[in-house]
A and B are shown apart, each in its own frame.
Chain A
Amino acid sequence: MPASYKWTSLRKTTKNSGDFPSINVSTHPLKVEVVSMKQSSNKSFIENINKWSAAFEEADPLMKFEQIEAEEEISSLAKIDIQTNYSQAWSKRRTNILNKYTTGEKLTIVSSFLPGGEKALIRQVSNLNEKVKHRLEQLDDFDEDSIRKTMGLSQQEFVTKIKMLDDEIKKAWNTEQRVRAFKICIQCSKMLSDVNVMQFYPSKFILICDILDNFGNLVFHRLKMKSYGDKVIKSPLDIDSTLVPEAAKETCQNWIFKMASIRELLPRLYMEMSLLKCYVFIHKDEIKPTIRRLTKMIRGIGNPLVAVYLRVYLCNVASKLLGKESEEYFYNNLKEFLEEYQQVFHPMMVKKYGTQLLTPDQYLTLYEPAVNWLIYGTLNLDRSKPLLLELLDQCDETENNELILNCIVASFDSQSIIENSTRILDMVHKSADKMVLLSHILASLGEHLCKAESYRKLSSEALSQAWWKIASNIRSTVDFLQVLGPWLQFACTQLSTQHTNIILRGTIRFMLKCGKPAEEFSSNFHMVIKRMLKSIPDIEEVFLMDAFMPLLELVQTSSARTVMAKTVLSIFFERYNAVQIEDPVVISSLMRLCCILHDSISAVTVEDESKVCAELINKYVHAVTYQDDFEQQLNFYVECRSAFIKLDAVLVALVHSVNALACRAGRGRGRWLQRACAAYCFVTVPSLHCALTKAQLYLLSGQAALLSACIGQAEANLKALVGIIPDIPQYIQEDGQNKSTHDRLVGLLSNFLSTLLILPDNVDSNCKAYVLSGFIKLMERIHWKKTDSLYYTLLLKILDLLCQMTQEKYAYHIDFVISNDDLYGSEEEFIDSIERYATNICQELLVVLKLLGDNKDTKKQYNLSLELFWRVTRRGDLNEPSMSSLAANLWMLSQKLQDSNNKFAKIMLTSLEKDKNQASRQLFAKLKSD
């Protein structure tokens, strides 16, 4: 291959744009699309994902669960509305009870049907002498009826034992040992008289009820089999007792006699309830009187906790059997409970829960599920006087009415509670000092009020004031915050900002007065703030309340403050409706929060964490606007830069914003602002970490400066870009993966080269095409592999640029910027130096070609030779012998490597053939002849 070919560029005659065939189009790829898409705030990331994944039939399995749950919730809600499906409603409560009432205390089971355990101390007769007794005891070990006491069981062990007993019942039943099953069942129900670990009692109740239900079903199904065989019977009430065979009746009667002779009251009642539905085999009409009788007999149970749960079981049995008709029994039992209400506060009970180290409110919450259930069953009962009023009247007359009140508020629908809210609040006010469930009542009352659609303003204020009077006297801070949440929401939605502000001020006072640092309650506090932010109609108003920011600052530890700031910011941006923020108060408040967020970032902060912070701060940076006060805006950016220096992402956003500002400012008023902007960028970019980002920003800032005709600044930026290229690594870490910078670099540098075309030369420098020459020099020195496509692609692009630079008039310009074509006017010296560069580049390309050949990289070699051939024929002056021979050589090389059937090569030939230029056609002929 010849050593050197002198490059001569073809000078094309300038064509006016009209010479090219042109079509008017409405869209083109470069068109600036004004997408007026308001980032819909509450559309979260997940929703966006959803939108895209909707096309796939299979939903994400996790999402699926969520959907199913949501659907269930909806369907169950619908069911509750109907109010007839008690079992559905109960099973929901059942789970709640099991989850809520747990214990770490040790439990005890007394049973004769479980293996192991100590011998019970309870022994019936003992008038035998010790020796005989001991022998008998040994014998008893084999006897299953000896009562054993298993102590020190954990809750889990207890549940397992109960399950074992349940299995034991089934086993005994299936092996015809029905009396044994009956005995186990009695023992199980006896366990319910034990209130030693009270906080587990509701759960224990549930577990044992399951056993009783199972047993009841076993008996019932056996009787059904005896009477009807396998015939399906929908409801027990469909059974006609006159059609039941005598044998089945007799069996049933036997069960009832057996049950009636149980000595102890509690097991007898439980067993009778579990066998209640068997009465259909004897006499259906007996069921209702029996329920009534049982309702009264429960009075004999002295312990109120045991009694109320017994009532719950009775109502459950009744509701399963009678459906909606059971309301009457719910009501009766509720009445009975209320009559015996004072028993709950019996000194003996107080002593009992005292020794179990329960607080009064813990003790009272044990009643909650039971009473709620009784009220729930009564809700729909038609009565001359609404139940709510009746109960409230009762409350008025009752001492210690907090438990009833609490259950009323928890059970009734919001509408009725709201109507009576003033009355309830009055009642609470009267005895607020000694109420232990005060916070529960107030909180749930608040929840109801939050659901109010539009409440009369006047009474809202009165309510809120009344509430505040009570709330401000709450002793425990946690309780106070629990109550504050819903009421603050109520205030936000129903009352004026001033009012809410007053509450906030009060809160600050309370928190200061309570004497404990606010950190201790930060999570509760956090919830309250979150709730308020979510409920306030106009989120901007939050910052207009003078108490809000001080409230946030109450928390002193940085971690808690960061969490708070993050929450406030994220909710703010979620709910903020406008795209821009103009209010200076809001801006400064947000600035403060952003600073808190930023200050929390340290060397040990995880990447994701800082990413989230950066995202929030970016939203802030983007949203703040000072409209036409550009100077103020720039000052704001300067301030931001100093405030958020630790976050690269924010700096990047700032640079973008400043560039946008520069462009927005236009060329109108002097150019100081644009210069300041360019300078800002130039100064800001170096503090970033990622070289590639830096390069991109330099380019962008250079272009922005050029656009506003700040040539000096543009040159400085582009020069800095050239300087930074060697620092760009081959791979960068992104989302935990190594990504090649290759493609991005090619794109970036191509963009850079295109920009260079219009950048006017620095007249002071004696070098033509100053920045470009620097870039070319850099390419010589750079450590890239010469056979790397990155390297030679760039060389080709430089060649393109050089060819374009020799033209008399460049393809594009920026107004008010005098590019080199006008600057030099195609001066000989300039063209010469440019062509010298071209020759060198061409030379370098040939070296690359050779290296590729040496490496046997034929494909690359072939492509490169064709590319170069194309440039020579298109951009080179083929009249020059050196050029045409270079072209011919390159063609031959490419043909040698691969036949000319390549589409690309063919097109080149055709275009050569059709060229008007004489030299081209000559070259074509020459190539053909070869």
Chain B
Amino acid sequence: MTTNLNIVLKRASKIYHEGDVIAGIVVVENSNDVRHEGLTLAMEGAVNLQLSTKNVGIFEAFSNSIKPMNLINTVIELAPAGKIPLGVTEIPFEIPLRARHPLPGAPAGCGLLETYHGVFVNIMYTLKCHMKRSFLNKPLNTSCQFFVQYKPQEAVPCKPVRCEISPNSVRRGGGGGAGGGPMPRFHIYAEIDSTVCALDRPLTGKIRVDECSVPIKSIELQLVRVETCGCAEGYSKDATEIQNIQVGEGDVVRARDVPLHMVLPRLFTCPTTSTVNFKIEFELNVAVIFEDDYLVTENFPILLVRSR
């Protein structure tokens, strides 16, 4: 007497753009005839915001989590109440992906935001299939995530950025250095090919150690998200690491360009977004760690876009 519900999407990648039609089938697999009170499919999309614990003090008045913002909510009926025969039954469906109302802050003509999994901000889209049954039986539910992406825009011009890291620049910046002791002598040149990055392209650049009086232990590239929640009267801003990629291991050769190359992870990145209630921004840190764990970093804010 088991019944299985399953949603299978036509598109293997499960990636859809606004305006696309989500097509797929709901597979009902049962070992007996099943009587039900109606089979429905719901498409939901929402932004979940969460305030970081660090800032809870300020926001004590608020509840810890803010009410999720609904982006989309459509329900269709797949089958009226009736009987589903024994075996595998496939019920095809099609739902157009269209926002309820245009969203402030999103690119023009866009009512939907890209799927994004963060720490304090989550943008998720799901399909939920629901089978109502007679009061003696529990209703059956199944759900399936799908991903929304913006339609690729025109390619944006590159905005290269370069910097030189030396004891002076570190002092001027007043930070970056960790650990005590006198600062070693070094001169490092770093270059990012563009601070405006397409999401499906790797982030590239190069770094060169021109001079360094102590051995280098590691050179790392850190991708950081900066999530801002709340509105004008009170907000929290938190920077957390998404991923850290090593580009140099050990004492690398001096005066040679070492390429920087980072593939931006899916789901954990999205186009840089700024709305009334929240902001998602990204930054890149280039860190050089010396043998004695002395750390020198340089920060580059970057703009992520969905472009060709």
Contact = CB atoms under 8 A, between A and B. Distances in A.
Interface of A: 193, 245-247, 249-250, 256-257, 260-261, 263-266, 268, 293, 296-297, 299-303, 306, 339-340, 343, 346, 348
A297 B12 CA distance: 32
Nearest to B268: A261
Contacts of B263: 256-257, 260-261
Contacts of A306: 250
Q: Give the size range of B's interface with the partner.
A: 20 to 34
25 contacts: A246-B12, A247-B12, A260-B202, A263-B245, A264-B246, A265-B246, A266-B249, A268-B245, A293-B259, A296-B258, A296-B259, A297-B247, A297-B258, A297-B259, A299-B253, A300-B248, A300-B252, A300-B258, A300-B259, A302-B216, A302-B250, A302-B251, A302-B253, A340-B253, A346-B251
A246 B13 contact: yes
A472 B182 CA distance: 52
Given A268-B246, A299-B253, A301-B252, 10 more contacts: A246-B11, A246-B13, A250-B12, A257-B265, A260-B265, A297-B261, A299-B252, A302-B249, A306-B250, A346-B251
A170 B252 CA distance: 35
Contacts of B247: 265, 297, 300
A300 B219 contact: yes
Interface string B256-297: 111101110110000000000000000000000000000000
A261 B256 contact: no
B299 interface: no
A27 to B, nearest CB: 86
B261 A293 contact: yes
A264 B259 contact: no
B40 interface: no
Contact of B259 (A247, A268, A299, A339): A299
A299 B256 contact: yes
A250 B13 contact: yes
Given A299-B258, A302-B249, A263 B244 contact: yes
A194 B246 CA distance: 17
B215 interface: yes
B243 interface: yes
A256 B263 CA distance: 9
Interface string B162-182: 000000000000000000000
B265 A261 contact: yes
Contacts of B249: 193, 264-266, 300-303
Give the residue among A299, A303, A343, A346 with the most B Cβ atoms within 10 A: A299
A245 B12 CA distance: 9
Contacts of A246: 11-13
Contacts of A340: 253, 256
Interface in B222-251: 243-251
A9 to B, nearest CB: 111
A649 to B, nearest CB: 69
Contacts of A346: 251
Contacts of A261: 243, 245, 263, 265
Nearest to B206: A296
Contacts of B266: 257
A658 to B, nearest CB: 80
Give the residue among A266, A300, A346 with the most B Cβ atoms within 10 A: A300
Nearest to B11: A246
A257 B265 CA distance: 7
Contacts of B257: 296, 299
Contacts of B245: 261, 263, 265, 268
A340 B248 CA distance: 14
B153 to A, nearest CB: 22
A348 B266 CA distance: 40
Q: Give me the 7 closest cross-chain CB pairs, A-B, nearest first.
A: A302-B250, A260-B263, A300-B248, A265-B246, A247-B12, A302-B251, A246-B12
B259 to A, nearest CB: 5
B246 A263 contact: yes
A257 B264 CA distance: 8
A299 B219 CA distance: 12
A800 to B, nearest CB: 101
